[in-house]
Amino acid sequence: MYCQHCGNEINEGMDFCPKCGASVKNSFEKMGQAIDSVSNKVDEEFNRAIDSVGNTFNTNENQNQSGHRFLRTDRSLLIFILLNIVTCGIYNFFFIHSLAKDVNEACKNDSENTPGVGMFIVVWLIGIVLGNILGIFSLLRVSTITEMVRYGEYGRLITTYSISIVPFTLVNIITGIYPLYWRYKLGNKLQRNGQQYGIMINENGSTVLIWDILGIVCCCLGSLYALYILIKNANAICSAYNNKYVLKH
């Protein structure tokens, strides 16, 4: 911990900075409150995910008398990251399901429907099946490649290797392109539907896609910012929906 006034390092338990004499008790209290706030938020989000499983088949969940459901407006990138770490990525499936469901509800007049987690699972399963098939194929080619190296048939070796690597590349494209496409379409949908709620959304699908592509070459930071854009705009759309259809009825 460091003093907010002079930057001197302070040991935990000290009430005053030994260098400038400033009180640091409030700093520790604020840090504790921030930690408690994040902890409570994670716990709340985790419980919400568990409760959602039980409410999946309850179509009247949180609906008012006019039949409109209260949509979430408190999604957070930080909570998304923390819960994905805690659940080893499983929370991402719930997040996609919940986000697509709320956006489709808020943008029900839109001609395009945002696919939920089902399509992600299908693409994921296709990747697993193809990966296993290609793994077996590669094992069968090991002995052939070994013989090519032994007899110096390097031209044939390069051709065989090139043919073998193409299917693996296709698998990566199939499982990697769809999430980018999904986020691109969602970005366009949020901007398009912001007009009906009087919201000016500057970022579109192209903005999201550019940041996602930048994320490929900058340690996923661009992808996280792209997700932040989607979360921010989805929260704005859902909040406007609640104000228009839920809170006034």
Lowest mean pLDDT among 7-16, 91-100, 164-173, 218-227: 164-173
pLDDT band at 212 (very low <50, low <70, confident <90, very high): very high
Q: List pLDDT tens digits, range 5-15.
A: 676 777 766 66
pLDDT digits (tens, 9 = 90+) for 123-159: 777 777 776 676 666 655 555 555 555 655 555 555 5
Residue 193 CA, distance from chain mean position:
21
Task: Reply yes or no on whether the pLDDT at 114 is more than 80.
Answer: yes
Q: Convert the pLDDT of each residue in 34-82 to its tens digit.
A: 655 665 566 566 556 655 655 554 444 555 556 788 899 999 999 999 9
Residue 146 tokens read as 């070994």
Indicate if the pLDDT at residue 213 is higher than 60: yes
Distance from C-alpha of 228 to C-alpha of 187, rounded to nearest angstrom: 11
In total, the chain counts a number of residues equal to 249
In DSSP notation, the chain reads: -B-TTT--B--TT-SB-TTT--B-HHHHHHHHHHHHHHHHHHHHHHHHHHHHHHHTT-TTTTB-TTSPBPPP----HHHHHHHHHHTTTTHHHHHHHHHHHHHHHHTTTSSPPPP-HHHHHHHHHHHHHHHHHHHHHHHHHHHHHHHHHHTT-HHHHHHHHHHHHHHHHHHHHHHHHHHHHHHHHHHHHHHHHHGGGT------HHHHHHHHHHHHHTTTHHHHHHHHHHHHHHHHHHHHHIIIIITT-
Confidence of residue 199 (pLDDT cuts 50, 70, 90): very high
Is pLDDT above 90 for 227? yes
Q: How many whole angstroms separate alpha carbon 98 and alpha carbon 63?
A: 16
**Separation CA 26–CA 80 (nearest Å):** 29
CA angle 78–81–82, rounded 5-degree value = 85
Where do the domains of the chain lie?
73-246
